[in-house]
């Protein structure tokens, strides 16, 4: 019996689908469990999933900075999901700004930027730990929080 082929979807489409399922679930958990417990559960789960994504992407693209750039371009920013401006790149670091983020726009349009930060932005530090524990991320601002851009600064740990 032939198996049904999965139609590929973009990373943005995947996150929108996840968001539409997670948002009502998170709201129900908040009502029943309170904000603090719900936030802890969501962050713990999202970070675990992000680390798993990082491991998978390292296997697919390679665990070095060049592979990380492929993740940024071929996964995160695919199909116009993000507009990025690379400010520095060497074998030991990748620095870029996200000047447009359709992930953030999705949550902001719903009036749920706080959940967007929790569901989407909180993934990045855990992802890099799964991708390559010798790399670290510094980010001081996000579009989701109302900043003019997200500042991603990945570098090899000292």
Q: Would you list the domain boundaries of the chain?
A: 11-156
Torsion of CA 44, 49, 50, 51, to 10 degrees: 90
Closest listed residue to residue 147, CA positions, set 124, 129, 128, 121: 121
Which tens digit of pLDDT belongs to each residue from 100-109? 999 999 989 9
Report the distance separating Cα 67 and Cα 69, nearest Å.
5
Non-local (6+) Cβ contacts of 21 within 8 A are: none
Give mean pLDDT, residues 39-45.
92
Give mean pLDDT, residues 13-18.
88
Predicted local confidence at residue 4, as pLDDT: 60
**Listing from the earlier edge strand, what are the strands of the sheet with 135-138?**
82-90, 93-101, 150-156, 135-138
Report the distance separating Cα 71 and Cα 54, nearest Å.
9
pTM of structure: 0.86
| pLDDT over 70 (residue 91) | yes
Report the topology of domain 11-156.
Muramoyl-pentapeptide Carboxypeptidase; domain 2 (3.30.1380)
Least confident segment among 81-85, 119-123, 149-153:
119-123
Report the distance separating Cα 81 and Cα 63, nearest Å.
23
Predicted local confidence at residue 5, as pLDDT: 62
């Amino acid at each position: 019996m032939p198996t049904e082929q999965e139609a590929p979807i973009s990373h943005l489409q995947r996150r929108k689908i996840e968001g539409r399922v997670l948002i009502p679930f998170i709201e129900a958990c908040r009502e029943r469990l309170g904000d603090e417990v719900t936030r802890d559960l969501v962050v713990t789960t999202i970070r675990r999933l992000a680390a798993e994504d990082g491991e998978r992407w390292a296997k697919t693209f390679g665990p070095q900075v060049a592979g990380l750039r492929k993740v940024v371009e071929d996964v995160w920013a695919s199909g116009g999901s993000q507009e990025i401006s690379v400010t520095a790149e060497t074998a030991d670091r990748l620095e870029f700004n996200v000047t447009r983020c359709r992930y953030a726009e999705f949550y902001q349009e719903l009036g749920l930027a706080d959940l967007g930060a929790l569901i989407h932005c909180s993934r990045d530090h855990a992802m890099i730990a799964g991708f390559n524990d010798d790399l670290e991320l510094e980010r001081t601002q996000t579009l989701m929080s109302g900043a003019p851009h997200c500042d991603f600064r990945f570098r090899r740990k000292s």
